[in-house]
Structure 1
Amino acid sequence: MNKHIVVVATAVLVSCLAANGAARAQAADIKTIVSVNGPPVVVNQSSALNMVGIFQIGGNTSATVTQNGSNNATGVLQFGGTTSSSVGQTGTNNVTYVGQTGQSATSLISQLGSMNAGAIAQFGKINSSTVVQTSP
């Protein structure tokens, strides 16, 4: 996985613990998904802390992530003929990194929160990306 994802995930976790104190329990949903020539990946998370790392390789790769929580972090890395990703995040802190390599790469990041960070890297013949960031 990308070292930036680990750095961001650690920063989000530390900020959650600092904001809520060590004595309080924090609900967390942390997933790592690896898919080789598999079906489209769909992740829905609604805990206070949501983190997902998705690695896909194959002919056509597709990932859809929806996160609703205080702190959200997503990393998507796709290698295939056609790659597509869609990430929607609603929370105080939202971070997304998408890397795509293929014949055609399409990506959408939508973030609603006080602190939003999104990065997309695409290496293909046809590339399309959209980033929408809004604060409440």
Structure 2
Amino acid sequence: MKYHLLIAAWVTTFVVSPGIINLAQAQTANIKTIVSIGGPPVILKQNSQLNLAGVFGVGGNTSAIVTQNGTYNYTGVLQFGGTTSASVNQLGANNVTFVGQSGQSTSSVVAQVGSVNSGVISQFGATNTSNVTQAGP
């Protein structure tokens, strides 16, 4: 159920984002969904014109690093575990990130450089740390 909610959030963001009309002309697209259950850290690099990334992590310690370089960059990270950490770096005209974390200790870093930047971090834990950096071109 939570996985479907994450997809619905991406679709909603995708539809209401500025400049979405030009997506029909996109040359390349890179769409990845990664589910990690008690597995190793997730490291994802995307360099297409349109980049969509979804990371769902469950386990004792979950970690995700997403790097996107394209015109349209969209990332959703949802993590549940004892220690959760996420890092999202986006360089492009339109950048959207959502990070949701629940655990004993949560930490996240979001860095966005572009014309339109949107970042949301929701953390539920005993110790929560977050940093969002946004800059225009």
Tell me, which stretches of 5 or more residues in structure 2 are unaligned?
A: none
Tell me if structure 2 keeps the 8 A contact 1:110–1:132. yes
TM-score by length of 1: 0.91
Over 6 Å off, 4+ runs: none
Alpha-carbon separation, structure 2, partners of 1:86 and 1:135: 19
Using the TM superposition, give the Cα deviation of residue 97 of structure 1 relative to its aligned residue in structure 2, in angstroms. 0.1
Using the TM superposition, give the Cα deviation of residue 62 of structure 1 relative to its aligned residue in structure 2, in angstroms. 0.1
Length, aligned pairs only: 132
Who is 2:12 aligned against? 7
Tell me if structure 1 keeps the 8 A contact 2:35–2:55. yes
RMSD: 1.7
Alpha-carbon separation, structure 2, partners of 1:64 and 1:8: 21
Tell me if structure 2 keeps the 8 A contact 1:9–1:51. no
Partner letter of residue 6 of structure 1? V
TM-score by length of 2: 0.90
Alpha-carbon separation, structure 2, partners of 1:72 and 1:121: 19
Rate the CA distance shift 1:99–1:48 in 2: closer, same or farther, 3 A: same
Map Cα deviations across residues 55-77 of structure 1 (whole Å, 9 max, x no partner). Answer: 00000000000000000000000
Alpha-carbon separation, structure 2, partners of 1:9 and 1:92: 14
Partner letter of residue 22 of structure 2? A
Tell me, which stretches of 5 or more residues in structure 1 are unaligned?
A: none
Using the TM superposition, give the Cα deviation of residue 117 of structure 1 relative to its aligned residue in structure 2, in angstroms. 0.1
Who is 1:34 aligned against? 35
Rate the CA distance shift 1:125–1:114 in 2: closer, same or farther, 3 A: same
Using the TM superposition, give the Cα deviation of residue 25 of structure 1 relative to its aligned residue in structure 2, in angstroms. 5.2
